[in-house]
Structure 1
Amino acid sequence: MTATAEPRSFAAAAAAPRVLRDHLWMHFATHNGRDEADAPLIVRGEGAYLFDDKGKRYLDGLAGLFAVQVGHGRAELAEAAARQMRELPYFPLWGYGHPPAIELADRLAASAPGDLERVFFTVGGGESVETAWKLARQYFKLSGQPTKHKVISRSMAYHGTSLGALSITGIPGAKAPFEPLVPSTQRVPNTNFYRATEHADDYAAYALWAADRIEEAILFEGPETVAAVFLEPVQNTGGCFVPPPGYFQRVREICDRHDVLLVSDEVICAFGRLGTPFGAQRFGYQPDMITTAKGLTSGYAPLGAVLISDRLAEPFHRTETPFMHGSTYGGHPVSCAVALANLDILEGENLYEHVRTNEDRFRTTLEKLTDLPIVGEVRGTGYFWAVELVKDKSTKERFTPEESTRILREYLSKQLFAHGLYCRADDRAEPVIQFAPPLICDRTHFEEIEQILRETLTGAWKLL
């Protein structure tokens, strides 16, 4: 915009010819003209639904991006932001505090498992992961173990896109354009039991086998060099890999044995997505750090946090050494105020209990789709589910790359949205369709998802 140009309103931009939007570079999008031409314009949200500029309604089956726990259009959150903007619109946490950050830190520490009593605020999930890795490295330097700097994570796991977090990420296609990345990361198998090549007939044995691969990696790298293991409670990429019973308990034992920190990456899984405040509570394990974002504010304002055990904080207090890390907007007062109001809704409307009460109904509704020849498995927990697609149910045969492109990206993604359902069709690992709707959803929303999915999957099968 030039100095003399008249400012345009959002409504005017939405109604104007598409040329007015040619300057927007969308995230994770190709730029050959197709995405820009086809990109819908979402202008409003209400409850579990989104609306485009033409007035069409879509069921938000992904909570925006695994974030909008309490639904769209909550006036309480807008009012909390406005109140804070009038009182203190911004101040950094660089050697100072402000009431919303102090209150939110107290509240998070009170609800976290174990001794996670320290809270470091960030702007988002990738920054939370970056923060946890940097803190782990400095902690071991202060503890007299300066060679412990490496990280172990799981195959196909997503942990962010900044160079450090991307180095921990286990998705080769996401990493390749930016290599070389930060060294010192190692991958181990994830918990995709549906595709298990070891102990495929014994879930308990598979749990221990998968966990023991972490110890194998620690020993291979040398325990004196490994600082942390980063794991999601339920792994996102690949389609909601739920940990087998006993898996995290074995991982905790391994980490303790080798003095390695267990970081629970809960950017998706915290704040009710699995029916508990934190995903570690759902599966009964104690992490040394938890990384969060997304549902902390229900996506209404950018905010992340790292919850840190007293043990990790102790060397910084004992030596008065600063943690040389921070950001301009980490712990922004407006975002913290929104987060506090969001937690009020989650607790006041009993949304944690609502998820636990309704997760079986969600599962059984999606499992109706297993009568379709293209559906291999339905898996997940809480309000976090995936439907894996196959070419042959009896053999679990995968699509060819050409078939996957044709079925998922060229057909399903467009048809699901055209039928009024926003969700994710993903084939970075196995071809899956993922669902993580707002936590306010109930049986009527589940049935709407199943009906739209049934129609579109039936059409997709005909393309094979």
Structure 2
Amino acid sequence: MDPDYSADWTHLQQAAKDHLWLHFTRHSSYDAGDVPVIVKGEGAYIWDAQGKRYLDGLAGLFVSQVGHGRTELAEAAAAQARQLAFMPLWSYAHPKAIELAERVAGHAPGSLNRVFFTSGGGEAVETAWKLAKNYFKLTGRPLKHKVISRAIAYHGTTQGALSITGLPTLKQQFEPLVPSTFRVPNTNSYRAAEITAGYIDVTDAASNEAFGRWAADQIAVAIENEGPDTVAAVFLEPVQNAGGCFPPPPGYWQRVREICDAYDVLLVSDEVICAFGRLGHMFGAERYDYEPDIITCAKGLTSGYSPLGAMIASDRLMEPFLADGNMFAHGYTFGGHPVSTAVALANLDIFERERLLENVRDNEGAFLTTLEKLKDLPIVGDVRGAGYFYGIELVKDRATKETFSEEECERILFGYVSKALYDEGLYCRADDRGDPVIQLSPPLICDQTHFDEMEQILRVVLEKASTML
């Protein structure tokens, strides 16, 4: 029986406003209205406390790969909690962490066989940077500590991960942050002419490949500018999230790998979003055919049924820590939690049994084609992405690609589009980190009926938004 919150609704709302500090939220937006309260999920849908249903077009937050309401995942958590509710991985192990580490390593590319569990994605990124610095100190190159990442890219909220993040407006209020991080251009092919100051005009496949080569080469330029003996790592997402889903141009990752090898710099594939099926493969590195030195991941590892993340490192990065007396002096109380690792194993069972990776690969073309129907609206400039991970960039003028002003973002994107999509029954993300976009990242169980529902709701809202420009 579904819970009934109607009798206590007034108290619930007041308690939320008085005590609950929401994440990344303008609390003033609820001064004259209710805080949305989600109480149930089933399959690709969620319900609020009033019983209204919404299509979960963001998989929670790029998390709910297998969908909501999977009782077997709840049962796996309960069974593990009854047997062993907690044990840290500080000098001790427990069976579920061992089993999951072996299973994750089996899916990871090449020699990435060492799995360090965390509580989530930001901790995984933090762990990767600390490992990179520690590794080079132990191998006689103590000056190698700097990190290169891409403009507009998001890598997390902890002090280190936020320092690597390429979004100035998210960082300014928390500065000073960790020094020694540097930005290079991203792979936004839609705005390649602007990014390269006209050097590349992406009009065909050949020029897109040239843009990818140029963007990758800027990593080499940054390494040279800082001094190769000071750069430890490059942090990149397979498909960049912030800014609205930037896929890599052909050959981009292969060139990045060449550059990292040439300068002895570690390549970190930040797959907190892209791993575990989001791009139709267990890891984005597999889709784009490259082998990083480290993978960071979280979210889809448990489909959100329990918190868990991981850093997966190559065997060579583990070698110095196997020497007598050496230790990676780093860890988290809840990293590799018994309940979370049990849930992750059951989650991966669902992946295999229901062939979710194949489902994404079989349907991604139909998903993209359905979203591209929206290009007949003058406000839609670009639709891009891969797998079940797409961004729709909104523009003021499609011919010139002119973007929204700050006032238009406030009035149209946040003042209307974001709220209207939710009111129409679609939970997704409207964002202006970079240019204004709508992001869609539904559960991996979705099919054409869900794609059509998304397109129909988007069309209603964006047709209205077009008249507001």
TM class by smaller structure: over 0.9
Aligned position for 2:162: 166
Aligned position for 1:144: 140
Identity of aligned residues (%): 67
- Contact 1:128 1:304 survives alignment (8 Å): yes
C-alpha displacement of 1:37: 3.4
- Contact 1:276 1:352 survives alignment (8 Å): yes
Counterpart selection for 2:66 from 51, 70, 73? 70
- Cα distance change, pair 372–318 in 1 and its aligned pair in 2 (3 A): same
After superposing on structure 2, the runs of 4+ consecutive aligned residues of structure 1 that deviate more than 6 Å are none
- Contact 2:46 2:56 survives alignment (8 Å): yes
C-alpha displacement of 1:20: 2.2
Number of matched residues? 456
Counterpart selection for 2:15 from 20, 34, 52? 20
- Cα distance change, pair 91–452 in 1 and its aligned pair in 2 (3 A): same
- Contact 1:118 1:313 survives alignment (8 Å): yes
State the SS of the aligned residue for 2:211: helix
- Cα distance change, pair 445–179 in 1 and its aligned pair in 2 (3 A): same
**What is the identity, as a one-letter code, of the residue corresponding to 1:306?**
M
- Cα distance change, pair 36–181 in 1 and its aligned pair in 2 (3 A): farther
C-alpha displacement of 1:204: 1.3
Aligned position for 1:452: 457
Give deviations 1:147-201, integer Å, cap 9, x for gaps: 0000000000000000000000000010000011000000000000100123123
- Cα distance change, pair 177–20 in 1 and its aligned pair in 2 (3 A): same
- Cα distance change, pair 72–120 in 1 and its aligned pair in 2 (3 A): same
Aligned position for 1:262: 267
Aligned position for 1:420: 425
C-alpha displacement of 1:13: 9.1
State the SS of the aligned residue for 1:45: strand
Q: How does 1:122-201 map to 2 (within 5 A)?
A: 122-197=118-193, 198-201=199-202
Aligned position for 1:99: 95
- Cα distance change, pair 420–306 in 1 and its aligned pair in 2 (3 A): same
Give deviations 1:86-113, integer Å, cap 9, x for gaps: 0000010000000000000000011110
State the SS of the aligned residue for 1:307: strand
- Contact 1:13 1:20 survives alignment (8 Å): no
Aligned position for 2:443: 438
State the SS of the aligned residue for 2:33: helix
Q: CA RMSD in A?
A: 1.3
Aligned position for 2:216: 211
Alignment gaps of 5+ in structure 1? 1-8
Give deviations 1:55-93, integer Å, cap 9, x for gaps: 000000000000000000000100000000000000100
C-alpha displacement of 1:16: 4.2
Aligned position for 2:234: 229
State the SS of the aligned residue for 1:59: strand
Distance in 2 between residues matched to 1:280 and 1:153, nearest whole Å: 17
Stretch of structure 1 that moved more, 155-164 or 315-324: 315-324
- Contact 2:6 2:50 survives alignment (8 Å): no
Counterpart selection for 1:45 from 41, 46, 53? 41
Counterpart selection for 2:410 from 393, 405, 408? 405
State the SS of the aligned residue for 1:196: helix
- Cα distance change, pair 80–10 in 1 and its aligned pair in 2 (3 A): farther
TM-score (norm 2): 0.96
Distance in 2 between residues matched to 1:37 and 1:329, nearest whole Å: 36
- Contact 2:163 2:179 survives alignment (8 Å): yes
Aligned position for 1:5: none
- Contact 1:192 1:241 survives alignment (8 Å): yes
Q: How does 1:303-452 map to 2 (within 5 A)?
A: 303-452=308-457
Distance in 2 between residues matched to 1:10 and 1:179, nearest whole Å: 44
Aligned position for 1:292: 297
C-alpha displacement of 1:35: 6.4
Distance in 1 between residues matched to 2:265 and 2:356, nearest whole Å: 34
- Contact 2:151 2:166 survives alignment (8 Å): yes
Give deviations 1:199-223, integer Å, cap 9, x for gaps: 1231111111000000000000000
C-alpha displacement of 1:34: 2.5
C-alpha displacement of 1:347: 1.1
- Cα distance change, pair 36–272 in 1 and its aligned pair in 2 (3 A): farther
Counterpart selection for 2:254 from 242, 245, 249? 249
- Contact 2:301 2:347 survives alignment (8 Å): yes
Give deviations 1:326-364, integer Å, cap 9, x for gaps: 011000000000000000001110000000000000000
Distance in 1 between residues matched to 2:30 and 2:10, nearest whole Å: 19
Distance in 2 between residues matched to 1:14 and 1:179, nearest whole Å: 42
Distance in 2 between residues matched to 1:205 and 1:42, nearest whole Å: 46
C-alpha displacement of 1:10: 9.5
Aligned position for 1:83: 79
TM-score (norm 1): 0.97
C-alpha displacement of 1:225: 0.2
- Contact 2:404 2:435 survives alignment (8 Å): no
**What is the identity, as a one-letter code, of the residue corresponding to 1:77?**
L
Aligned position for 2:116: 120
C-alpha displacement of 1:320: 3.7
- Cα distance change, pair 89–12 in 1 and its aligned pair in 2 (3 A): farther
Distance in 1 between residues matched to 2:226 and 2:130, nearest whole Å: 19
